Amino acid sequence: MTECTQYAYAKLNLTLDVLNKRPDGYHDLRSIMQQISLHDTICLRLEEDSTWKLTCSDALLPVDSKNLAWKAAEVFCEAADVSIPGLSIHVQKVIPSQAGMAGGSADAAAVLMGLNRMLDFPLSSRQLLLAAQRIGSDVPFCLFGGTAFAQSRGEVLSRLPRLPHCSIVIVKPSVSISTPALFHLIDSFQIDVRPDHDALIRAMERDDVETVAKYMHNVFEPLAQRDHPEIGLIKQQMLSLGACGAQMTGSGSAVFGIWREEEDALCAMRTLQERYEDVFIAYPIENQ
Ligand code: C5P
């Protein structure tokens, strides 16, 4: 196989708790992560010549080794001990950048999976997960997919019951938040409320979307809202448009709301589109 197309699905954090800072500079975290249908598309092609080329539909993103899709191809070659002389990667972006939705990490995971498929599976699932860790903290989840509980840096993953059927509306405000800066800031911030992951998991087991939404919590949100009140405003608008719950994902700045009925979510999406440029609708991706 010399060509392959992979979808790269976005993630949302239903819960996110940041624990201690570790000696390696990263933080231990706990998070219930959900893969959603909003996706980029990655086209990979093995070329006859001996150069690597990356193209991207978003002119603002890097097209060299600074792009995680490129880095993933490098890490794949090392991990599988193969050389790929000529390679072209095209990244068709849909997932907003600097949103807390793991857009770059999803692209990287899709490159790992695509190259593994094209080269007839030199890496086992476990080896792929180890390669993913070397690229970024969210890349292992993007490979794992579905609904999962993430611990440690984000790479220790366990399967959870599926999120009850629902529709998700996402707004990406124009403000961008630096992930390292937010992690740094939280070190000197008193976290008063932490998520109750177990209560949310029990609600998923009961297929109770309202209670799932009620237990969503992200410890970064109060910090991000302090500097960017727009985040709180979007959340309030989603709740007044009938969302069962709404919150910022990851280190932001995207905010998502959950609706039980698709019709209500579509109606809310249309209202939000009158106020914001980047508004999306998505659905949970089920465990594979
Ligand atoms: O792993 P990744 O490159 O995506 O992380 C980006 C930045 O986010 C890290 O450089 C670090 O500052 C912060 N981070 C962290 N703890 C984590 C994940 C990310 O401190 N578990």
* pTM more than 0.95: yes
User: What pLDDT is stored for residue 288 in this prediction?
Assistant: 85
191 Cβ contact list (under 8 Å, min separation 6): 17, 18, 219
Q: Tell me the pLDDT band of 83, cut-offs 50, 70 and 90.
A: very high
Ligand 1 within 6 A of CB of 137:
yes
Concatenated DSSP letters of 35-59 = EEEEEEEEEEEE-SSS-EEEEES-T
User: What pLDDT is stored for residue 1 in this prediction?
Assistant: 80
**Tokens for 148?**
């999962």
Distances (CA, A) of 241 to 115, 167, 228, 244, 279: 43, 13, 21, 9, 14
From ligand 1's centre to the CA of 169, what distance in Å? 26
Q: Whose CA is nearest to atom 21 of ligand 1?
A: 153
Within 10 angstroms of residue 279's Cβ, the number of other Cβ atoms is 18
Mean per-residue pLDDT, 263-274:
98
Which of 17, 66, 183 for mutating ligand 1's site (highest number of atoms within 8 Å of CB)? 183
Give tens-digit pLDDT for 177-199.
Answer: 999 999 999 999 889 999 999 99
Q: Which residue bears the tokens 């019709």?
A: 263
Average pLDDT, the chain: 97
Half-sphere exposure of 279 toward its Cβ, with a 13 Å CA cutoff? 17
Ligand 1 within 6 A of CB of 26:
yes
User: What pLDDT is stored for residue 69 in this prediction?
Assistant: 98
C-alpha 270/C-alpha 92 separation (Å) is 24
Vertex 95 angle, CA 251 and 277, to 5°: 90
Give tens-digit pLDDT for 233-262.
Answer: 999 999 999 999 999 999 999 999 999 999
From ligand 1's centre to the CA of 48, what distance in Å? 37
